[in-house]
Structure 1
Amino acid sequence: MSVRHDWYQSETKVVITVLLKGATDKNYVVNIEPQKVQMTADGYELLLQLLHPINVERSSHKAYATKVEITLAKETGVRWESLEQKADVAALPTLQAKNWDRLVSEEEKNDEMSAKGEAALNHLFKKIYSTSTPEVQKAMNKSFSESGGTVLSTNWNEVSKETVTVKPPEGTEFRQWDK
């Protein structure tokens, strides 16, 4: 019998919450491996093939009255699109719900590959911005707006100290449109 679970993530960890009433009283066992998590508890079983590798030594688990919380330390700060690896469809004949987020993500990747010129550059900047930390996003916003679109920096330590100056391309001159 499987158990219900949910998950969330931060930059450094993934937290899996397994809903299990009386978890502290049940004989539960959690086995954490670099790309697999398994939990059993009095006839319940949860087996997850993780999307990305984790650091086993820095991972842990704890039982509460209504749940078991499994904290997995990420190897890298990459954002996980899903908790588990994509299952081999041939190995699973049962119907599965569509993951619309993954479908949109795959469509965007296909658009990026077919885009050329300025469209490809815009896709690249969108990808960098959407996968960046809030600090990098602040740096990009500040540098772009203060320089009139001539500078795009990801270094907040540098950008936060002073106003970003306009740096037009070589051979051009910057003029404000209202003058």
Structure 2
Amino acid sequence: MSVRYDWYQSETKVVVTVLLKNAADKNYNVSIEARRLHMTADGYELDLNLQHNVVVERSSHKAYPSKVEITLAKETGVRWESLEEKDKAVATAAPSKAQAKNWDLLVSEEEKIDEKEAKGETALNNLFKKIYSTSSPEVQKAMNKSFSESGGTVLSTNWNEVSKEKVTVKPPEGTEFREWEK
């Protein structure tokens, strides 16, 4: 199975970001050669023939919770037109298959994965954050006012109702509300 990746460069290095959650748990392995980058992880593989040479001794990689970041030290300060070496015969005979990345789609896919992994209170907090961030300013005011005035026991999105008077504390059934003693 292939992995999703992206890359960027500076004058001295090329950074390849491989999107792979919990890479350390998937026994990931990175092999860097002068013109080749190869990465494997339990059922995943990335094999790239690099466009230019890199200095293996100054190159490195590091695993993060959601990705593996591979830093390739450039042998020369040349700007790379692409990460991979192109086959010149194929490049002139066939049109380029390069496509623009749809970053919104990529972010939404990651959000879906995060939502599936979230459980309990984390999932509930994520839901409230999503509702708040996509709501109108009026709904946001209602949520802020109801939550703060009720001591965190009420969360309303109805500004017409909340704006009229102070929101009263409504503790969960079977419990009672007590003020902090001063």
How does the TM-score come out when normalised to structure 1? Answer: 0.50
Structure 1 unaligned regions, length at least 5: 101-179
Aligned counterpart, 1:8: 8
**In structure 1, distance between residues paired with 2:24 and 2:65:** 6
**In structure 2, distance between residues paired with 1:32 and 1:65:** 22
Aligned counterpart, 1:68: 68
Residue deviations 1:102-150, cap 9 Å, x none? Answer: xxxxxxxxxxxxxxxxxxxxxxxxxxxxxxxxxxxxxxxxxxxxxxxxx
> Percent sequence identity over matched residues?
69
SS of equivalent residue, structure 1 residue 25: helix
**In structure 1, distance between residues paired with 2:98 and 2:8:** 20
CA positional deviation for 1:87: 3.5
Structure 2 unaligned regions, length at least 5: 101-182
CA positional deviation for 1:98: 4.2
Aligned counterpart, 2:32: 32
Distance verdict in 2 for CA 1:98–1:5, change over 3 Å: closer
CA positional deviation for 1:23: 1.3
Residue identity matched to 2:72: L
**In structure 2, distance between residues paired with 1:98 and 1:17:** 18
RMSD over aligned Cα atoms: 2.2
Aligned counterpart, 1:77: 77
**In structure 2, distance between residues paired with 1:72 and 1:12:** 9
Residue identity matched to 1:70: I
1:49 aligns with 2:49: yes
Which stretches of structure 1, 4 residues or longer, exceed 6 Å deviation after superposition?
none
**In structure 1, distance between residues paired with 2:77 and 2:99:** 23
Residue deviations 1:140-161, cap 9 Å, x none? Answer: xxxxxxxxxxxxxxxxxxxxxx
CA positional deviation for 1:24: 2.5
SS of equivalent residue, structure 1 residue 24: helix
Residue identity matched to 2:73: A
How many residue pairs align between the two structures?
97
Residue identity matched to 2:2: S
CA positional deviation for 1:96: 6.3
Aligned counterpart, 1:18: 18
Distance verdict in 2 for CA 1:96–1:46, change over 3 Å: farther
CA positional deviation for 1:99: 6.9
Distance verdict in 2 for CA 1:16–1:35, change over 3 Å: same
CA positional deviation for 1:89: 6.3
Residue deviations 1:2-42, cap 9 Å, x none? Answer: 00000000000000000001112210000000000000000
